[in-house]
Structure 1
């Protein structure tokens, strides 16, 4: 099957099923997930589908789709574990202050922090805090706010106000989507406001995101790529995306 035929068939499948994953498309057409992501990027540029985390929806679908933490925690688990381990190299020196965002990958990152590391950690994410409560040398601070059932993370005016009082050395940030045209984005307004405050409160911004999020966009931008110092991702990212990001002076670490 030629690429054009495959892409036309993909559009029809997405239309019929309303939402379909990269893995299902790769199996359906006997190609790699990287090939599927390139196809979907091309189809999105043509306005035929809309890329979302892990797959695609019809072009007319609302862009506010947001999976809950349990669903995301069981997706791409091996990749997220590899990203978490690779991100340990971005930890600042002992005694430094770090911010940890909500997300299934940041939870894994928190669990992977070596027990000999002495750090001051602030987080608004309950699952991240749970991981760090047993860490013998981490001074843990849990930020206030309303806890969302979708992400198990505190958001709202109290969370943002608390973050405005902080100055951290490094923030380890999650994102629903990342693109060169729309920056970092998420579907929820409260999440966007909290992530925006996280970025503003740190000297260095490290984004932890699997490659399925690269080249996708969600409704609400919370940071420009110029705000990002480092992206830690997996080897599913295309060489073209790496070059585009590095041209913006972003360090790309491939797990």
Structure 2
């Protein structure tokens, strides 16, 4: 079991039981006590746990646990692919530049990039970068930093510093949640800072997400509706949500 999977398991157990015991978990998962302590430290940094002697207790600070990459990849696959095809129409002309955020819908977008369409692309997401290497017409720049296991994306000051030295035509942005008051939000502060930097580096900001994200809200806001130029989503979006976006001069594209 990889660390992100183990931490996901511990977080779910914490939500149900309210407490975790290091010795018991180490024996059950066949890992060292120190490994479990590191996992609990990660949960504490994410606001999900408060470490105590011998284990941890739940803070119940967040309503929704951030899904892992494997779980997100297998959710709403057809819908994400449809949104990605619509978003591909917004790629800049040949010779243009793009920034690609971490996200499974963004991964589907990479599948839609024509093999003979020259572009410069920057990304901090390892799965996205791996796909881009197979497109001969793409000039790829990878942004470095500490890689979060949950999203397989680089975060931290080195990533932000690198983005601050760049400017692209279009940024394709993913999100965990969206709303007129909270804007676009995510459960992790470092992830939010990375996304915020990507927003600043682009002439046009395109957010891609399915309409279910409009029913959620997370702790860290990284973009307001005023920061967006275009939203690509599905026909499940309500008339009220469309009106809220258009009130901020955001163009809504229905896939």
TM-score by length of 2: 0.75
Q: Deviations over 1:12-65 (max 9, x none)?
A: xxxxxx89xxxxxxxxxxxxxxxxxxxxxxxxxxxxxxxxxxxxxxxx762462
What is the 5 A alignment of 1:112-123? Answer: 112-123=112-123
1:124 Cα offset (Å) = 0.3
1:130 Cα offset (Å) = 1.0
Q: Distance in 2 between matches of 1:222 and 1:245?
A: 16
Q: Which runs of 5+ in 1 are unaligned?
A: 1-17, 20-59
If asked which structure has higher relative contact order (CA below 8 Å, sep 6+), I would say 1
Structure 1 residue aligned with 2:138: 138
CA RMSD after TM alignment? 1.4
Q: Distance in 2 between matches of 1:214 and 1:205?
A: 18
What is the 5 A alignment of 1:157-236? Answer: 157-236=157-236
Which stretches of structure 1, 4 residues or longer, exceed 4 Å deviation after superposition? Answer: none
Structure 1 residue aligned with 2:71: 71
Q: Distance in 2 between matches of 1:195 and 1:108?
A: 18
Structure 1 residue aligned with 2:10: none
How many residue pairs get matched? 198
What is the 5 A alignment of 1:89-104? Answer: 89-104=89-104
Q: Which runs of 5+ in 2 are unaligned?
A: 1-14, 17-59
Q: Distance in 1 between matches of 2:78 and 2:251?
A: 22
The answer to whether the Cα contact below 8 Å between 1:84 and 1:109 also exists between their aligned partners in 2 is yes
TM-score by length of 1: 0.75
Greater Rg, structure 1 or structure 2? 2
